[in-house]
A and B are shown apart, each in its own frame.
Chain A
Amino acid sequence: MAKIKFIEANGKQHEVEAEEGQSVMQAATNNLVPGIVAECGGFASCATCHGYVDEAWLTKLPPPDAAEEGMIACAFHVQPNSRLTCQLKMTPALDGLVVRLPVSQTEE
């Protein structure tokens, strides 16, 4: 079990537990974290599980593949630390991960 802290755009924090191997997106939806829409269910097809990974954690993650990069280009409110949370798998090294959420997943 590892902890993830989601911070909504309005500052509200949600600390949730995730199992190893689970995606960061799934941990959010299992725990009803607002701000993760996850329309396509984790197949990198919709960019509605977009989150900003805190700088300290960015280097601990494998870089995005072409599919993820293509979809991040599709997302709203993109920043340099934008990732698709459906593509981030939890490992013990990610215990304490902090992910901030955009103002909206579906509009500008």
Chain B
Amino acid sequence: MEERIVIVGAGQAGGELAAGLRKQGYKGRVLLLGDEAHPPYQRPPLSKGFLQGKVALTDLYLKPLASYERFDIELKPGTRVEAIDRATKEVSLGDGSRLAYDKLVLATGGRARPLSVPGLAGARPENLFSLRSIADVEAMRGRFIPGNRLVIIGGGYVGLEVAAVAVQLGLRVTLLEAAPRLLCRVTGPEVSAFIEKLHRERGVELRLSCEVRSMELDEARRQVREVGFACQGVQERLEADLVLVGIGLIPNTELASAAGLAVDNGIVVDEYACTADPDILAIGDCANQPSAYTGGRIRLESVPNAIEHARVAAATLMGKREPSAAIPWFWSDQYGLKLQMVGLSTGHEQCVTRGSVEGKEFSAFYLKDRRVIAADVIGRPAEFMAAKRLVSSRVQVDAARLGDAAVPLASLAA
């Protein structure tokens, strides 16, 4: 019997792995199962160009359907995996059938974290959205009408990117954030302040340190009418035509834990993407992996991580061992301004900026023990790779020279 690799999850990580196996010359069968109706697609444009109507549906697809056929990747959209039977090495599918595997890769990603507030229990209002899939955007789009009142809950990337698109389309946007500043989990106060100003200037209403307390639905319980919240102790209510909840992601780990695999903020894997079961791997947003960068464990929600982790898994499946040494990086795009972030700034002792914050072109470097542990590069893409090098080299730098735009960054990385 021909060897068979079954990949559960046809997102960026799963799609990349299937292609990567063929690129490396894998001769066995490759089955790629996804529960959505689409082939693997890009998620970053969902909250940007696709929502705005500037990127077409088929341009989201990472490859056309014909490519899967040509390279003998058995793509099965609309296929839900219900359980893993590790003893017989089979997965059971939504239609009741079973599928055998020699190697199984879980690339199950995550789902949007739902908001839990009084008034919502049991209801699924038509104007309450999260943003994770093509279907989410398709459902939302019809309400992106100039003048409509959009309330966004959550000041992370999804919330901010949608806010940017929405005000540009003429909606009235209010964004509610629980923390005292925007993007607080991923960036320092200086960059939060910059992003805050950027959005306020464009007309986004921002409420920080704000706790959502309730939602009032219409009589049929089909529409949210009002969002109730407390902002720095003051109770307020806001009428809404549509509400977007962007408060993070829950990794899809249920299949793994039901199969008895270790789960701890993600499916626990080693540096080669392997779980404790030698025939099961896990990659991408759903996996918790050792990180050469932090020295600890990490679960990353990002495209570069999905691609890199798929590369590691492909090598493992080909009988090689190539752990990842990649440094986490992320990008965002708001009002046409490019934001590129490398490393994780948690625990930094000092923030040094270079360039002009007012001119919307600057880099923020986060230092710990005089080493650059992370950087945010805004509107200065040419500086990004030098920033990456500073983060990876871990050399000690002089803060004054780092902050002096006349000193080439490359000379600091020595």
Contacts and interface: CB of A to CB of B under 8 A. Distances in A.
A96 interface: no
Nearest to B389: A108
Interface residues of B, number: 25
Interface magnitude class on chain A = 20 to 34
Contacts of A47: 385
Contacts, number: 56
Interface of B is mostly: helix
Nearest to A108: B389
Pick the 9 closest A-B CB pairs, nearest first: A70-B381, A73-B382, A74-B385, A41-B42, A70-B382, A45-B331, A34-B23, A30-B67, A74-B384
B128 interface: no
A45 B64 contact: no
Interface of B: 19, 22-23, 42, 44-45, 62-64, 67, 71, 303-304, 307-308, 326, 331, 333, 338, 340, 380-382, 384-385
B62 A45 contact: no
Interface in A23-69: 29-32, 34, 37, 39-41, 43, 45-47, 67, 69
Contacts of B333: 43, 45
A71 interface: yes
A14 B309 CA distance: 25
Interface of A: 29-32, 34, 37, 39-41, 43, 45-47, 67, 69-71, 73-76, 106
Nearest to B18: A32
Interface of A is mostly: loop
Contact of B303 (A31, A39, A69, A76): A39
Contacts of B45: 41, 43
A47 B331 CA distance: 12
Given A40-B303, A41-B45, A106-B326, A32 B22 contact: yes
A73 B44 contact: no
Given A45-B340, A73-B385, 15 more contacts: A29-B62, A30-B67, A32-B19, A39-B304, A40-B303, A41-B42, A45-B331, A46-B304, A67-B381, A70-B382, A73-B381, A74-B381, A74-B382, A106-B308, A106-B326
